[in-house]
Amino acid sequence: DRLVVLDFTATWCGPCQRIAPAYAEMADHYSDRALLVKVDVDELPELAAELGVSSMPTFLFFRDGEQVDMMRGADEQGLRSLIEKH
């Protein structure tokens, strides 16, 4: 029943690399209630396409298999707020 957050990222994406340390810290901080996962769009392009991800970073939020939210861009405070919200 935990929140699952997918971070669609790429090695060549500057904003993705800038938010990566904060995302890793959030993965530890919220580990009791959320599972934060990185998805490399170059390794899993079909998943990105299936979920409609066309820009990075994009964060998709799921609970019980249903998408409950989405955020585009490397906004650390926005990301924290959405994790807290869900």
Judge whether 69 and 82 are in contact, CB under 8 Å. yes
User: Domain range spanning residue 73?
Assistant: 3-85
The number of residues making up the chain comes to 86
10-residue stretch averages of pLDDT, the chain, 86 residues long: 96 98 98 98 97 97 97 98 97
The set of catalytic residues is 13, 16
Where do we find the tokens 């990185």? 38
Which contacts (CB < 8 Å, 24+ apart) does range 26-33 have? 26/79, 26/80, 26/83, 30/83, 33/2, 33/3
Task: Look at the chain and report how many structural domains it folds into.
Answer: 1
Residue 76 structure tokens? 């650390």
According to DSSP, the residues that pair with 8 across neighbouring strands are 39, 58
For the domain that residue 37 is a member of, what is the CATH number?
3.40.30.10
DSSP 43: T
What pLDDT is recorded for position 32? 96
Q: Give Dmax (Cα) for the chain.
A: 33
What pLDDT is recorded for position 1? 83
